[in-house]
Amino acid sequence: MTTTQRDLRDYVNEQALKYDDLRHQIYDAYDLFQMEIEDPCASVAHEAELCISEIIQMINEYETNTKANR
């Protein structure tokens, strides 16, 4: 496992613990990352960036919706 993969795994686990309501979606994004990097042409760093961006977007939308519903 490369540092990028390990860092991403750690980030995913941290965010899943922090945002329990999004846990399944966060792990789904990580599962997609893992599937994508099985392709020999895939760039691990690029796929990791996409995964992180997706998780950040999920969290931003969740926080926006949570604040709006208070």
Three-state secondary structure string covering the chain: CCHHHHHHHHHHHHHHHHCHHHHHHHHHHHHHHHHHCCCCCCCHHHHHHHHHHHHHHHHHHHHHHHHHCC
User: So where are the chain's domains?
Assistant: 3-68
- With bands split at pLDDT 50, 70 and 90, how would you rate the model's confidence at 9? very high
Tokens for 37, please give them: 């990097």
- With bands split at pLDDT 50, 70 and 90, how would you rate the model's confidence at 69? confident
Global confidence as pTM: 0.90
> Cα-flanking dihedrals φ and ψ of residue 63, to 5°?
-65, -40
d(CA 1, CA 47): 14
Mean pLDDT on 28-55: 96
Q: What is the mean pLDDT of the chain?
A: 94
Mean pLDDT on 35-61: 96
pLDDT digit string, tens, across residues 10-31: 999 999 999 999 999 999 999 9
